[in-house]
Structure 1
Amino acid sequence: MRHERYVFLPTDFFDYGPWSPPMRFKLDSRRAANLRLSTGAFAQMTPSFQWDRVEGASGYSIQIDDDASFSSPTINQKIDLNSFTPQGGMESILADGSYFWRVAMRRSNTVSGYWTEGPPFVVSSVTPLPLSPIADAEISQQPTFAWTAVLTPTLTPRVAAGRYQLQLDDDPNFSTPTQFETDNTSFTLPKGRSIADGTWYWRVAVLHDFNKTGPFSPVQRFYKEYLAPTLIAPAQGATSAGLPVFTWAPLSGAAYYRIEIATNEQFRPSQFYLTDNTRFTPQVDLKAGGYYWRVQMFDRDRISGPWEMGRVTIGPITDQLYLPVQLAGWGED
């Protein structure tokens, strides 16, 4: 600093005095304080990074790295608020493992203060535990899937997983899975999504923020096959005097049944009928002779179960003539 002198007309000019003694000052910035994680030290869901607001800050910088020296931060963001939650796809970057993070206030877009390190944390994803159907179970109706609820953190649970994603496929590699999302820990296939008989595979995962799935549970395998109806009447190989009433036991999950009647085991040709009852009387007369009949169930999505076949002989209807009988020892004298 030095004194200046200015002389006016007629010879306007500036003149400078000697410099003052040099003075020194130190510019120091405030540090972010009270750094914390919404999930605690063990992050089993997408964490939110938080700290106290710094007076005079125009924004903040945050770095997250699996290296304590922050040599190549996994996340390096400039933000305006005093909290940060990975968005879009960033949360998928934080794979299971140990991490370090730090925050610095910014005076401008290019001028930053000192870094303050937050507490280290561990990302340890939790998967639901399948309950049913599991372990090569054999079922005879459309499955209801069930699994354990995921609570985080596991030691002192505070948050329950909001949603789950279920995958179902007939390929153990899940090349073309059918996916369902639910808020519950059980799921029954809706109308229009019934599965055919056969071997199936399923798995479930927590659905995090931004519709990102966590790790899937171990794959479970089960076998589904509808039951064949149990035929009740007419009994196998019985003879019926006239048209019989065909009867069978009801099956769980059956929306309706198909019954076929033919004179041969190949059912070519045959008469077939659809009914939602478990009793059926033919609508046309059947001539006397041997017949084969079979029944199968259909579910609400028209997926059929196996046949059960019976055999019956229809005999002719015989007319009976009743005549008066004279009993010995009876009558009028």
Structure 2
Amino acid sequence: MRAVQSMFIHNYLMSLQGSDAAFYYMRDAVSIVQLLRIDNPENAAQISPPERSRRQRLYWQAYIHERFLAILHYRQAILPPLYTLPEDDPTLSIQVHEGFNQTIKLFRLLDREFLNSWLDSQGGSVTSTWVEAKSRELDGDPEADARELSMLSMMQRADLSITREWLRTLVWRLAMSRTLLSSRSSEECLSLLFPVRLSQTLRQQVSSMSRQDIEVHGTSITQKLFEITDTIADVLIHVSAATLDETALRIDDFLFILDFVLRIPHLDQTRRGILLEKLERLQTMFPEALSNASSPSLPLDLRSPGDVNDP
């Protein structure tokens, strides 16, 4: 119970931008989880199956939160992946059990090598080969993934889909920081334009989901969407399209996602300001492409006069 309480307080403080205090409570939760020794198979074998499954879920919950915090605030993570996924628990529905397992599998991709590279400003072990391999892991088996997703609710699918795109963005950002990208690369993960293509995919995914199915996941999914949108904006600003028509298509996808993110209640003013500042830069660079922007979440001076109703 103490570990769960600490993780709850951690989540609450994260929503208030209290990163240092949130880190303290996350470490408190991790310490308690370690004291349970669920990572020791011999010790775990002495516990009843229902309790063992419960503790395994607790371990993985702490693991996921700690990895997310490590990426978001450049912190060290302590917990290694557990030797097993949570065992079946008859008190849980298959849908809940499978959904949690899918989340675990995604966050296991944030392995020690990934985190070390994320924290290492000198480059670490990131190479083109590593980026391609990590991207293949993220791609997974489309047929198997489709079967597994088919048994999940739309709320679960929303979380998994956006988390996967967020992880793809992280891998791309690592490649960018190591100057591994090229506009001519045949590998999508090593292309300068990858975020632009991702914006098309994300738009399709978001269009197929209800806003409630996405927003129910709170500040964590808001942060993921913010980072994806921010990355797309940077590419639009710094990588020019070949034609005006192509520019218009890129801007259109970006505005759709931007509008969606700006409407999320959990988006704080700092992140909102960052996105709007980049929108202003895009308007300066591509005034024609943005002239038809009619989103109610965009500032009035960034919309065309015809979209503003007279009082």
Task: Specify the structure having the higher radius of gyration (Cα).
Answer: 1
Q: Higher helix fraction: Structure 1 or Structure 2?
A: 2
Q: Higher strand fraction: Structure 1 or Structure 2?
A: 1
Q: Same fold (TM over 0.5)?
A: no
- Shorter-chain TM range is under 0.3
